[in-house]
């Protein structure tokens, strides 16, 4: 099964309404007077991080990538649960975990520790509290909305290549990404749709369009990129953890962001890139096979 096939099969199971049909970045649960936002991501050695990486950086990225999902819902982090496979660099991992939790003011709630002879897989569950309801989703984009993205795309790609190849480019954008929690909270009352860019801008925009049952038209030349000569690679690579969101046309974003497109009525294609119809997600970004 591919990742897409597996998730489609999961949708045949009994789902809590908070799962949002498994089409969003996180689950949203109403508990008493609070609305909780819960997400879980895993990282596999050799696929999500290099075996040679500093485990302190791996811990940082594991937490930040999960907090990025909370940011896309405008949620304030409450705490995290860690699933850890013992291995080399565990002391460095703990040091990095302390750094990232202290940076974001997030507490460790617990978790589980195991040993394994197979591929090392690390998991984290992040729990947050919604700062605004209704909580933004991928599925809320409306015809006529303007499409925006925060930050610059492709910086993580260049950081990864520097780390892999030993060049002098600063790899921080890849090793220690930043979750846009403040921006997400500011956008939550205004955004019709919002998600973080983890698998590539084009693929994630395609997913937003499908979830919202609209078409998203993107002008690639308007997207800020880290390497102009490799513009399309920057739009597909992922790991940037910026926020992709839509606002009603004429609404000014309260955060630093760039308008990159618009939402149109659903036609035969979920996405139009520079006027060219894109009918399937293959080749747009990172998909697990």
Number of domains in the chain: 2
* 34-44, strands of its sheet edge to edge: 27-31, 34-44, 121-130, 75-85, 107-114
Q: Where is mean pLDDT largest: 11-15, 100-104, 161-165?
A: 100-104
Instruction: List, for residues 184-203, the tens digit of each pLDDT value.
Output: 999 999 999 999 999 999 99
Q: What is the pLDDT of residue 266?
A: 94
115 with 146, same domain: the answer is no
Domain boundary among 101, 130, 159: 130
Would residue 284 count as lying in a domain? no
Q: What is the CATH number of the domain that holds 18?
A: 3.30.1330.10
Q: What is the CATH number of the domain that holds 266?
A: 3.90.650.10
Q: What is the pLDDT of residue 1?
A: 83
* Euclidean distance between CA atoms 96 and 271, whole angstroms: 39
Average pLDDT over residues 171-179: 96
Instruction: List, for residues 25-38, the tens digit of each pLDDT value.
Output: 899 999 999 999 99
110 with 149, same domain: the answer is no
Instruction: List, for residues 70-93, the tens digit of each pLDDT value.
Output: 999 999 999 999 999 999 999 999
**Would you say residue 23 has pLDDT above 90?**
no
Q: Which residue has the higher pLDDT, 22 or 42?
A: 42
103 with 153, same domain: the answer is no
Q: What is the pLDDT of residue 249?
A: 95
């Amino acid at each position: 099964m591919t990742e897409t096939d597996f998730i489609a099969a999961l949708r045949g199971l009994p789902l809590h309404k908070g799962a949002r049909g498994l089409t969003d970045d996180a689950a949203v649960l109403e508990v008493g007077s609070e609305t909780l936002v819960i997400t879980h991501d895993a990282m596999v050695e050799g696929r999500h991080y290099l075996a040679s990486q500093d485990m302190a950086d791996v811990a940082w990225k594991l937490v930040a990538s999960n907090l990025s999902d909370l940011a896309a819902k405008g949620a304030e982090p409450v705490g995290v649960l860690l699933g850890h496979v013992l291995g080399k660099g565990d002391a460095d991992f703990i040091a990095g975990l302390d750094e990232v939790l202290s940076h974001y003011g997030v507490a460790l709630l617990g978790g589980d520790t195991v040993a394994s002879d197979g591929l090392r897989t690390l998991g984290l569950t992040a729990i947050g509290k919604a700062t605004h309801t209704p909580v933004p989703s991928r599925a809320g984009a409306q015809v006529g909305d303007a499409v925006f993205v925060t930050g610059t795309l492709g910086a993580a790609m260049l950081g990864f290549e520097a780390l892999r190849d030993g060049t002098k480019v600063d790899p921080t954008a890849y090793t220690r990404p930043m979750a846009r929690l403040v921006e997400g909270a500011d956008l939550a009352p205004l955004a019709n749709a919002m998600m973080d860019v983890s698998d590539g801008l084009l693929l994630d925009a395609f997913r937003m369009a499908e979830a919202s049952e609209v078409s998203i038209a993107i002008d690639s030349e308007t997207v800020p990129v880290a390497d102009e000569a490799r513009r399309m690679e920057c739009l597909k690579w992922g790991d940037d953890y910026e926020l992709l969101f839509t606002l009603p046309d004429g609404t000014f974003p309260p955060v630093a962001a760039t308008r990159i497109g618009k939402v149109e009525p659903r036609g035969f294609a979920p996405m139009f890139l520079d006027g060219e119809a894109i009918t399937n997600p293959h080749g747009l970004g990172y998909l697990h096979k």
